[in-house]
């Protein structure tokens, strides 16, 4: 099979590989999925340029995957947290699926409670083991056991389906927001810090699930235009070396009559975003740190500010197969969530460098590899 193999920063090579060979220490039965489409995530670009502690090269990147089964998994899917009846849909040869990239250990306390994304020995397809920038991807036994292959309805295209995994990650954050949000007064104002594909998926969810008033803060004109097209009530365009956290805070407060926001979602690796989120938070509000920050920034946090204002400071990371199934339902409804609006470019596997560059240079939103 053809695969784009990451060896070291700035070194990816397209080569022929034996599709039967597998990397990592997967035990038990594995099955092959033929790739239909795989989206290029900002994480892939970060690894391509800088490497990552999670990545053991040589490895094939790509974790936003839509494919079809080469054989039936034919193993009991029965680990904690699954609704088996909903799940035992026929996974047979040819079934179109979305893949959960999570490879859990099934031995830790998080796995015991079905929180596989928090597994203490987490492996990830497209990171620690081979992923979707290849003709085939091999699914480890533990991913099969947790129901990590989820069948797709015909109403979702291959391209759209690559964005189910990021949608599920965003939905994970919304579930956590939801557990605090009953206290939020008045109509909810969500501020989304970041205008990338992830920011815009958060925008769609905030509008659809909460009917929220939304403000998107970003730096890229065409992306902010997309945010407006998707229904953002306001956008704030940052200018390089001109805007400071203080000026963004003032703009948001002006837009909210000084009341501030109910929910802020940090969907950018820019560490200034936390200062902004703190400056615009109303009492009883929620801040979700969704994005990983490349530089491990430290920021000042006043415990008294959290205490007296009842601020809920939360994080969210990755998603479980259960959230992927819910995301498929949300996207298939075709009401508030339209994943096709997030896809702007298509490339062949041979054009992987181009796909990574388009992503890195923020020329569009998501690039999808759709020909292998
Ligand atoms: Zn991703
Ligand atoms: Zn575990």
Q: Which domains does the chain have, with CATH numbers?
A: 2-152+338-371 (3.90.180.10), 169-315 (3.40.50.720)
User: How far is CA 56 from each of CA 2, 123, 223, rounded to the nearest angstrom?
Assistant: 20, 11, 33
pLDDT digits (tens, 9 = 90+) for 285-327: 999 999 988 766 777 889 999 999 999 999 999 999 999 999 9
Is the pLDDT at 136 greater than 80? The verdict is yes
Nearest to 136 by CA among 18, 43, 6, 13: 18
Q: What is the pLDDT of residue 26?
A: 43
For ligand 1, the distance from its centroid to the CA atom of residue 320, given in whole angstroms, is 14
Lowest mean pLDDT among 74-88, 122-136, 142-156, 268-282: 74-88
- Gap between the Cα atoms of 168 and 159, Å rounded: 16
For the chain, give the mean pLDDT.
Answer: 90
Measured in Å, residue 131 CA sits from the centre of ligand 2 at 20
For residue 52, report the distance from its CA to the centre of ligand 1, in Å.
14
**Residue 186 alpha carbon to ligand 1 centre in Å:** 33
Distance separating alpha carbons of residues 15 and 130, to the nearest angstrom: 14
How far, in Å, CA of 303 to CA of 192, rounded? 24
Contact 167, 339 (CB under 8 A): yes
Ligand number nearest CA of 201 is 1
Confidence of residue 239 (pLDDT cuts 50, 70, 90): confident
Predicted TM-score of the model (pTM): 0.93
Identify residues whose C-beta is under 5 A from ligand 1, the ion: 41
| CA of 42 relative to ligand 1 center, distance in Å | 7
Q: Which ligand is nearest to the CA of 291?
A: 1
Chain segment 180-237, per-residue pLDDT in tens = 766 554 558 999 999 999 999 999 999 999 899 999 999 999 999 999 999 999 999 9
How far is the centre of ligand 1, averaged over its atoms, from the C-alpha of 126 (Å)?
10
Per-residue CA distances from 339 to 125, 135, 228, 233 (Å): 22, 23, 15, 19
Cα separation, 367 vs 342, in Å, equals 9
What are the residues whose beta carbon lies below 5 Å from ligand 2 (ion)? 104-105, 108, 111, 119
307 alpha carbon – ligand 1 mean position (Å): 34
């Amino acid at each position: 099979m053809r695969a784009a193999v990451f060896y070291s920063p700035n070194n990816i090579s397209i080569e022929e590989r034996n599709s039967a060979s597998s990397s990592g220490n997967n035990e038990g039965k594995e099955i092959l999925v033929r790739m239909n489409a795989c989206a290029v995530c900002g994480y892939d670009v970060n690894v391509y340029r800088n490497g990552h502690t999670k990545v053991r090269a040589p490895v094939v990147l790509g974790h936003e995957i839509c494919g079809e089964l080469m054989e039936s998994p034919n193993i009991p899917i029965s680990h904690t947290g699954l609704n088996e009846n909903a799940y035992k849909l026929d996974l047979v040869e040819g079934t179109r699926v979305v893949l959960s990239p999570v490879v859990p250990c099934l031995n830790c306390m998080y796995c015991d409670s079905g929180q596989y994304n928090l597994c203490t020995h987490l492996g990830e397809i497209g990171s620690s083991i081979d992923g979707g920038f290849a003709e085939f991807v091999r699914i480890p036994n533990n991913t099969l056991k947790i129901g990590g292959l989820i069948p797709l309805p015909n109403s979702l295209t291959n391209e759209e389906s690559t964005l189910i995994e990021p949608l599920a990650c965003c939905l994970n954050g919304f579930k956590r927001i939801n557990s605090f949000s009953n206290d939020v007064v008045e109509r909810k104002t969500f501020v989304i810090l970041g205008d990338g594909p992830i920011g815009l998926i958060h925008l769609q969810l905030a509008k659809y699930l909460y009917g929220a008033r939304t403000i998107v803060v970003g730096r890229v004109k065409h992306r902010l235009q997309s945010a407006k097209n998707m229904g953002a009530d306001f956008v704030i365009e940052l200018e390089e070396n001109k805007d400071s956290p203080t000026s963004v805070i003032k703009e948001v407060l002006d837009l909210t009559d000084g009341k501030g926001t109910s929910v802020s979602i940090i969907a950018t690796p820019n560490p200034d975003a936390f200062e902004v989120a703190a400056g615009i938070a109303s009492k009883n509000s929620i801040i979700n740190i969704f994005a990983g920050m490349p530089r491990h920034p430290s920021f000042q946090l006043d415990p008294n500010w959290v205490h007296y204002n009842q601020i809920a400071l939360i994080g969210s990371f990755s998603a479980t197969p259960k959230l992927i199934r819910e995301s498929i339902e949300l996207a298939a409804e075709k009401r508030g969530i339209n994943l096709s609006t997030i896809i702007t470019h298509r490339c062949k596997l041979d054009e992987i460098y181009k796909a990574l560059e388009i992503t890195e240079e923020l020329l569009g939103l998501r690039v999808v590899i759709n020909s292998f």
